[in-house]
Amino acid sequence: MFMTEISETPPTAIGRRTVLIATGATAATLAVAAAVPESPAPTADTTAPVAAAAVCTLTREMTEGPYYLDGQYVRADIREDKTGIPLRLTLTVVDDDTCAPLGNALVEIWHCDALGEYSGFVGNNGHTEPDNGTFLRGGVLTNSVGIADITTVYPGWYRGRCVHIHLKVHTNVTLTSNGSFTGSQELHTGQLFFDETITAKVAALSTYAANTVPRTTLAQDSIYDEGGAASGLLTLAALGSSTSAGYAGTLTVGVESS
């Protein structure tokens, strides 16, 4: 039996636990350039803080889903030995009241591999592979201007869901000696989504085409609500001249930090 999220009830009213996404001219100001592989990661010296006067758009949180595991590693590269095209995420976290950047917040992500399998749950999408319970899971602390840079691979898909990445934002974390974290306050749970035109190109690559499970498109997904960036749709930029070179994905996410 396959374990999917399609049967989950999409969230309704979320109240004050919401996420903000900068839009329009604000988004252009906040976007972090990551167009080529050799580009340096943004730093406090090269990336301007988010303007307090920025206009933000509220959107609801999205379901955690059945594949979350506690106690994952704090690390900037979560690929381990997984094949797939590179995906370089630059996520900027801001406060929902002021749009000021939120530093020292843990941005945690988890997603399936090219075959649609999650670590800790391998086999739920019909494929057999080693399962160490940690691949494609982890997160990093934001820097002083609210930026979290994470390197992973472009996700695959599993039955009933479009290509996506799960996201949590925590504060007040304690880093442990084994590279994990404890004792956090969870500020946001959401999902990141991908442009369907780009996903179709990625799905045609041999690594992803080996996943024979029917692919659900963005428009067919039961969770994504067609809200664009306000619902977690990443801005994607090619890292090279071919699809196999990978993509950079950026998004500015605001959370209630008070």
Work out how many domains the chain is built from and give that number.
1
Residue 38 domain-assigned (yes or no): yes
The two three-digit tokens of residue 204, written as one number:
């045609």
Residues 124-142 pLDDT 10s: 999 999 999 999 999 999 9
Average of pLDDT values for 231-248?
A: 96
| Cβ(39)–Cβ(71) below 8 Å | no
The CATH number given to whatever domain includes residue 183 is: 2.60.130.10
- Count of Cβ atoms closer than 10 Å to residue 241 Cβ: 7
Average of pLDDT values for 99-107?
A: 92
Residue 200 domain-assigned (yes or no): yes
Residue 238 domain-assigned (yes or no): yes
Residue ranges making up the domain that contains 134: 24-255
Residue 87 domain-assigned (yes or no): yes
Residue 16 domain-assigned (yes or no): no
What is this structure's pTM? 0.81
Residue 10 domain-assigned (yes or no): no
Beta strand spans in the chain (E): 19-22, 56-59, 86-95, 106-110, 137-141, 147-153, 164-171, 174-175, 181-182, 185-193, 235-238, 247-255
Residue 9 domain-assigned (yes or no): no
Residue 60 domain-assigned (yes or no): yes
Instruction: Return the bridge partners of 250, or none.
Output: 90, 235
Give residue 3's pLDDT: 42
